[in-house]
Structure 1
Amino acid sequence: MTDQNDNDAVFTALGSESRLPIYAVQPKIELRQLRYFLAVAEELNFTRAAERIGIAQPPLSQQIISLEHQLKAKLFHRSRRQVTLTREGAAFEVYARRIINTTLAASEMVQAIANGENGPLAIGAIFSSIYSLIPYLLPQFTADFPGVRLHIQEMTISQQIQALHEGRIDIGILRGPIASPEFETKRLFEEPFVAVVPMASPLAALERISLKQVAVEKLIRVFPSANRDYSRLMFGALEEKGFRMNIVHEASDTHTLLGLVSAGMGMSLVPASLQHIQVRRVKYIPIIEETPKTALTLAWNRDAESPVIANFLQTADAMLANSDPGLLYDLGH
């Protein structure tokens, strides 16, 4: 009765009594036996096969016999002079090799993912970084980790913060500071602001511009709700000097801001790296006085750290260590 109860428990665990006989008759083949079989199939000699895999011949022969018993088929013809595969053995060799290769591939894939050498990486990037940082960073990263599949999406700062919270991106390239205990951040480099003016403006004839000249112009800024710290930083130098600003338009993102400047709707101050973005009918002009600097920052969720993120950060560190950050934003270098 006890045995029957044990069987009933097994049936229940499997979820279906009708499936148990199928499991019961399946051969319990070990990967080790497949490797032993393939060694004999390739050498067609038990002694050489045993030497190749580093075991004595009797245990090797016993494992092959055990495998044949499980398969209920003879895999080798054995005689004093030679060993040959039977028809069953030749057919089994194809599947044994496939299983071993698949197992090796699965093992390599798991190890690659564990080492951050494979798998997906979703990146959010602000507009300016696509033309400044990314052309320097991604070629090196993809060369070092060709198995990583990148998914890059342009996003505003606020969109990236939301996407990081929701796990839709793994890492963000944005402008700090980021005030959230959920995130880890890495500051890449700081850059000054430059003026961007319409080509139709008399200011476009200047090679350098003062804050006093900027203050009297019609100004365009990013919505404070899009990123309050960044919006405040844009005209921070003007506020510090007590200039009254004439803000006539606000934009949700840098795309729109540059479009408004191009249309002659006003001028603005933007990070120097935006000089890489050649927009028609606008001119970038350095500012004479020193301005607050904006930091390009990497951000990621501290609870979602992974080896592939670690490798991305390591590549960024190496890139910055071996290059002048000014090259990323100053076209005069």
Structure 2
Amino acid sequence: MEIRHFHYIRTIYETGSISRAAQQLYISQPSLSQLLKSVEKKVGAPLFDRSTQPLRPTTIGRKYLAAAKHIMEIDAEFRQYVEDELGCAQGNLIVGSSPFRSTYFLASFLPQFQAQYPGIRLQLAEHTSKRLEEAVLSGDVDLIIATQPVDTEAFSCAELYAEEMILVLPANHPLSKAYDLPQDCRGNLPVLPISLLKDTPFIQMHSEQKLHHQLLSICEEGGFTPKIYLQTRSMETALTLASAGLGATLMPMTLLRAFHPQTPPCFAALPMRPCRHALVAWRKKAYLSHAARAFIDSLVDYCRDKGDDL
């Protein structure tokens, strides 16, 4: 069977529908149905249960999909190996990142990387921390920009930079006035014990984002469970809502330096000075192409050179 047949069958599985898979693959539905029947004839058994919607793989279908995924990974690694042996700094590279890091971090790095390696074709895959880690482990993404902690048994990684986590409060919050909190995050910020916010509602990030769990951990250290007003997947939204007076939030300094909501909030440091470390990570023992190695080395050098300006 051809490699593309594996790709077609996997797309049927991922979409749960022959018609949706055909649209995604830009081929006709009858052609894809005929291809599936042809593959099933060679296998000698159905790969999908047609009585369910979405389509679900049969027992043999699940084995086929697992084998197809393995074969596709071997094929991709071999093609990357050939490109590397030919000495070409080229190839395709899929990099996973949160929308926040794509906007405020990668956007400043990628022009420099593209100028240095014009033969490397990049594709960005944007999602939450949890989904990105799943994507790199499944082989759908080559590298991800992640934050600690990561499973070191599953991932190899290189550290990029550390960013301090800062409390953001509305300007009209009683603590903003009592502590004379500044509306500029630069310089030495006043320290505000997190325990003073036990009665303040919080704008929290989604549970698939590590910042969600970091807020819970910090509040637990302060002896309380935060009152959550709402959750969002967007750091810019959380910062804007906190600025508008809907509650407090916890944000990385990287965002606070780059994004300024229309209504300026107030800022405070925490006594424990919590930080999180940004990493570039990849599946452990995976073959790293020349393009992937070039991206990792360039990104590490870029972060080292930028230092505190990130």
Please say whether Structure 1 and Structure 2 have the same fold, judged by a TM-score greater than 0.5.
yes
Q: Can you give the 5+ residue segments of structure 1 that lack an aligned partner in the other structure?
A: 1-109, 329-333
For residue 46 of structure 1, what is the aligned residue in structure 2? none
Structure-1-length-normalised TM-score:
0.56
For residue 61 of structure 2, what is the aligned residue in structure 1? none
1:289 aligns with 2:246: no
Letter in 2 for 1:291: R
CA–CA distance in structure 2, aligned partners of residues 136 and 213 of structure 1: 37
1:156 aligns with 2:138: no
For residue 124 of structure 1, what is the aligned residue in structure 2? 96
1:316 aligns with 2:299: yes
- Which secondary structure state, in structure 2, belongs to the residue aligned with residue 250 of structure 1? strand
User: Structure 1 residue 296: deviation in Å?
Assistant: 1.0
For residue 241 of structure 1, what is the aligned residue in structure 2? 222
Q: Can you give the 5+ residue segments of structure 2 that lack an aligned partner in the other structure?
A: 1-81, 183-189
CA–CA distance in structure 2, aligned partners of residues 178 and 285 of structure 1: 29
In the alignment, is the contact (CA less than 8 A) between 1:116 and 1:306 conserved in 2? no
User: Structure 1 residue 284: deviation in Å?
Assistant: 5.5
In the alignment, is the contact (CA less than 8 A) between 2:100 and 2:234 conserved in 1? no
For residue 202 of structure 2, what is the aligned residue in structure 1? 219
CA–CA distance in structure 2, aligned partners of residues 193 and 283 of structure 1: 15
For residue 309 of structure 2, what is the aligned residue in structure 1? 327
User: Structure 1 residue 188: deviation in Å?
Assistant: 1.1
Letter in 1 for 2:124: I
- Which secondary structure state, in structure 2, belongs to the residue aligned with residue 281 of structure 1? coil
In the alignment, is the contact (CA less than 8 A) between 1:164 and 1:300 conserved in 2? yes
In the alignment, is the contact (CA less than 8 A) between 2:200 and 2:248 conserved in 1? yes
User: Structure 1 residue 209: deviation in Å?
Assistant: 5.3
1:257 aligns with 2:238: yes
- Which secondary structure state, in structure 2, belongs to the residue aligned with residue 297 of structure 1? strand
In the alignment, is the contact (CA less than 8 A) between 2:95 and 2:144 conserved in 1? yes
- Which secondary structure state, in structure 1, belongs to the residue aligned with residue 144 of structure 2? strand
For residue 262 of structure 2, what is the aligned residue in structure 1? 280
Structure-2-length-normalised TM-score:
0.60
- Which secondary structure state, in structure 2, belongs to the residue aligned with residue 162 of structure 1? helix
In the alignment, is the contact (CA less than 8 A) between 1:116 and 1:309 conserved in 2? no
CA–CA distance in structure 1, aligned partners of residues 229 and 239 of structure 2: 14
CA–CA distance in structure 2, aligned partners of residues 254 and 116 of structure 1: 38
- Alignment map for 1:297-312 (pairs within 5 Å): 297-302=279-284, 303-312=286-295
Number of aligned positions between the proteins: 216
Identity %: 23
CA–CA distance in structure 2, aligned partners of residues 147 and 263 of structure 1: 45
For residue 192 of structure 1, what is the aligned residue in structure 2? 164
User: Structure 1 residue 251: deviation in Å?
Assistant: 2.7
For residue 206 of structure 1, what is the aligned residue in structure 2? 181
User: Structure 1 residue 112: deviation in Å?
Assistant: 6.1
CA RMSD of aligned residues (A): 2.8
**Post-superposition CA distance 1:162-214 (Å, at most 9, x none):** 22133222111122211263322222111111122345545387214512444
* Selected match of 1:146 from 118, 121, 124: 118
- Which secondary structure state, in structure 2, belongs to the residue aligned with residue 309 of structure 1? helix
- Which secondary structure state, in structure 2, belongs to the residue aligned with residue 270 of structure 1? strand
User: Structure 1 residue 288: deviation in Å?
Assistant: 4.9
In the alignment, is the contact (CA less than 8 A) between 1:197 and 1:268 conserved in 2? yes
CA–CA distance in structure 1, aligned partners of residues 88 and 97 of structure 2: 21
In the alignment, is the contact (CA less than 8 A) between 2:159 and 2:300 conserved in 1? no
